[in-house]
Amino acid sequence: MSEWAKKRFWKTALVEEQESGFTVLLDGRSVKTPARTTLVVPTKKLADAIVAEWQAQGDIIDPLSMPFTRTSNAALDKVMGQMSEVFDHMAEYGETDLLCYRASSPQELVERQAVAWDPLLAWAKDTFDAPLDVAQGVMYVAQPAQSLENLKAQLTQLSVFEISGIYDLVCLSGSLVAALAVTHKYKPASDVWDLCQVDEFWQQEQWGVDEEARVAESAKRSEFLHANDFFATLSGF
């Protein structure tokens, strides 16, 4: 299928194994991405998740209720053709990683950031030999070149589909280290997301909860957790 149809046009969605992976059939016809590429994914677990999304549709198709399909489409239509650019973009987050930029005051926030973020940075140092420097404020601080290379090396080992999963983990959290902590199972994705929200939680305590901000945070959290779920459907995780 090259475009989203408004109405459901199939009765049954099934997984079919092929030499190159697993595809999804709608009444015997292969699903296609928006760029008209046949949707072939690397694992049956991911294909099953996509089939479940198609089967769950009512008379009117809701693309927003199909995150596994959307992320797989992105892997084939966007990531596959520009892997180098995607690697470089994510690696840049290591240069300005959220976890490295700290408040100078008030002391309680300083301490909360340290408690939340220091263990993640220590884990990256020990696991990837990638120590990163911490600074106060928002002024750019140059990170050790070898540390950045070691972090980027973790990305270049990943497949197109794995990159599609980790991409949202990085961009939504603002932290390459946090994303790697999720994909390497250092901490559950929900815990890592909360650790990255220390500043936001602090602001809520001081000024109250803004409903619009709360809705936006909830949506981002759902996307972050989906990215982890997507990654978990792939082999080697």
**How many Cβ atoms are within 10 Å of 26's Cβ, its own excluded?**
18
* Residue-range domains of the chain with CATH: 13-65 (3.30.2180.10), 82-232 (1.10.3580.10)
Residuewise pLDDT in 10s, the chain (237 residues): 445 557 888 899 999 999 999 999 999 999 999 999 999 999 999 999 999 999 999 999 898 899 999 999 999 999 998 988 998 899 899 999 999 999 999 999 999 999 999 999 999 999 999 999 999 988 889 999 999 999 999 998 899 999 999 999 999 999 999 999 999 999 999 999 999 999 999 998 888 888 888 888 999 999 999 999 999 999 644
Q: What is the pTM of this model?
A: 0.91
The pLDDT score that the predictor gives to residue 36 is 94
| Residue whose entry in the numeric block shows the structure tokens 């759902």 | 222
Q: What is the pLDDT of residue 5?
A: 53
pLDDT for res 206: 87
pLDDT at 142: 93
Residues β-bridged to residue 60: 7
3-state DSSP call for residue 4? coil
93 CB contacts (<8 Å, ≥6 apart)?
170, 171, 174, 175, 176, 179
CA distance 57 to 146: 48
